[in-house]
Amino acid sequence: MKFRKVLVSFCCVLSLMSVLKTFASKKQDPRPNILVILCDDLGYADVGFNGSPDIITPEMDKLAKNGVVFTSAYVAHSFCGPSRAALMTGRYPHQVGTPFNLHSNSSENDADNMGVPVKEMFMSEVLQKAGYYTSALGKWHLGAAPKFHPNKRGFDNFYGFLGGGHNYFPSVYQKQYANQVKSGVKVIRDYIQPLEHNNKEIKETEYITDALSREAVNDIHTACKKKKPFFMYLAYNAPHVPLEAKKEDMEVFSHIQDKNRRTYAGMVYAVDRGVGKIVAALKETKQLDNTVIIFLSDNGGNFDHGANNDPLKGTKGDSWEGGYRVPMFVHWPSKIKGGKQFDYPVSALDFYPTFVALANTKVPENKVLAGKNIMDAVLANTDVHKDEMLYSLRYRHGFSEVGARKGDWKVTRMGNEPWLLFNITKDKGEKQNLGGRYPERLKAMVKETENWTKTFIHPLWYYSAKDEELWEAGKMPQFEETFEVSKLIKKASKN
């Protein structure tokens, strides 16, 4: 009898433990969700939270107001593909062989070699292995061959397109695509090809920006049902060309006279509408408080196509500030009190180590990173990159353009002009060259930048046949000429 009572008691304990275990397994993982919202070619001054004079972005502004706005946020390159490769690998694109944009519609013979090397583990792979539900939505531009596909690079779900851009209205581009197929065109431009969902072509019916926002909302609900934290990489192609906006979005900006600017504004507004829907979905699923939302652009705005980078100098592709200094904010209600501004320099290279820390996991062994975990510094408002350089370098035909910042100071060399030195904190527009006044500072920063180039590897591809021809002939990158400063400081001293 006594034995039977003990047995019954033991069975009750086991049953209770089973119930508790089941309850625990259904409990939401406490680690934060991570949502990166990336725009394409968005100008520094083209969002309300950065003081846009003519474009309104009310949904983004709410998040920025209740989060931290970064006034000195940089990406690692002034062009789309290299910038995105840096974000995913945590390394400068020159260090992994990807300093050039992938060419659209590369031949099948080259496609298998044209993508970010698989040996460079993406941060999405680390987060996926750490138990995150991962999704990539929108523009990829990191390789189209099967081994480079998002589903092979750490993303459970992919909805979008693999190339460097896309037209926006399905009723238009689908007809163009069908006509080219019917005509027997063998190489059809990426911009009009069908979108895909996890390797399957799909027939989209919505304006592309709205479609990507819809898919983001769907993935938020999917992650909630899985009881897993999510990592979402939402890469809008707006406001990248072609300039195509919905009529109702353009009507919001009827006060803008220039048609390109008005269309561009409508494209940005469509992103903002989408952000509003995403926030609503996070609230509905009770995930907003524990979701880290980071918003930024992949590079500077293209002022030939409607963008405004004021007060910065330069445009997309430049090593002036306007080429790679971007609008950015972070929003995380459970940790960050709103209304803050972070003026110290940060880089998109910092995302990899920061996200790995947020996920409470580790950087893979032997994985080299160029950035730092910035979250503690952001919360404490301290300079995480004190005495460290942040770089940008673009290969040009016959020379290289360079920008490098350390603290308040920046050296810049554009084209065959002299090296210039700016107090970039006081002079965002790079108007007053101080190289002649502080020649030793200029020399030291140029030398440090030259040493950085010694970590580069040979490009895995070139954007054009001309680039390859010049490189093989020894006329690119011509670092000896690029980093010559002695004769150029004398010229600069006249300023």
Tens digit of each residue's pLDDT (9 = 90 or more) over 91-139: 999 999 999 999 765 544 467 889 999 999 999 999 999 999 999 999 9
Task: Give me the amino acid identity at 200.
Answer: K
Find residue 33's DSSP bridge partners: 291
User: For residues 85, 191, 327 and 216, what is the CA-based torsion angle, rounded to 10 degrees?
Assistant: -90
SS3 38: strand
As given in the structure block, the two tokens for residue 384 are 């995480």
As given in the structure block, the two tokens for residue 422 are 């700016």
CA distance 226 to 211: 23
CA distances (Å), 270 to each of 39, 48, 169, 244, 277, in order?
A: 11, 14, 13, 11, 11
CA distance 327 to 71: 7
Find residue 340's DSSP bridge partners: 68
Q: Are strands 68-74 and 325-331 parallel, antiparallel or unpaired?
A: antiparallel
- As averages over each run of 10 residues, the pLDDT of the chain (495 residues) reads 46 43 58 98 98 98 98 98 98 98 65 91 98 98 96 98 97 98 94 98 98 98 95 98 98 98 98 98 98 98 98 98 98 93 98 98 96 97 97 91 98 93 98 97 98 97 92 91 74 47
For residue 343, the surrounding DSSP H or E stretch is: none
CA distance 334 to 288: 9
**What per-residue confidence (pLDDT) applies to 110?**
65
As given in the structure block, the two tokens for residue 65 are 């107001």
Architecture of the structural domain at 390-492: 2-Layer Sandwich (3.30)
Helices (H), 72-188: 80-89, 93-96, 108-111, 123-129, 170-182
Q: Where are the domains of the chain?
A: 33-380, 390-492
Q: Are 429 and 311 in contact (CB under 8 A)?
A: yes
Asked if omega into 170 is within 30° of 0 (cis), the reply is no
DSSP codes of every residue in 279-333: HHHHHHTT-STTEEEEEEESS---GGGT---TTS---TT-SSHHHHEEEEEEE-T
Give me the CATH topology for the region 33-380: Alkaline Phosphatase, subunit A (3.40.720)
CA distance 151 to 154: 6
For residue 221, the surrounding DSSP H or E stretch is: helix 208-226
Crossing angle between the packed helical segments 208-226 and 259-284, to the nearest 10 degrees: 10
Catalytic (active-site) positions: 80, 141
CA distance 442 to 435: 6
Q: Would you put residue 286 in left (φ > 0), alpha (ψ -120 to 50) or beta? A: left
User: For residues 239, 245, 251 and 256, what is the CA-based torsion angle, rounded to 10 degrees?
Assistant: 40
As given in the structure block, the two tokens for residue 78 are 């002034």
Question: pTM higher than 0.85 for the full model?
Answer: yes
Closest CA to 100 of 484, 457, 481: 457
The residues, any chain, with a CB within 8 Å of residue 428's CB and separated by 6 or more, are: 311, 312, 321
CA distance 486 to 292: 47
Q: How many CB atoms lie within 10 A of CB 222?
A: 15
CA distance 249 to 251: 5
pLDDT, the chain, mean: 92
User: For residues 72, 75, 78 and 82, what is the CA-based torsion angle, rounded to 10 degrees?
Assistant: 180
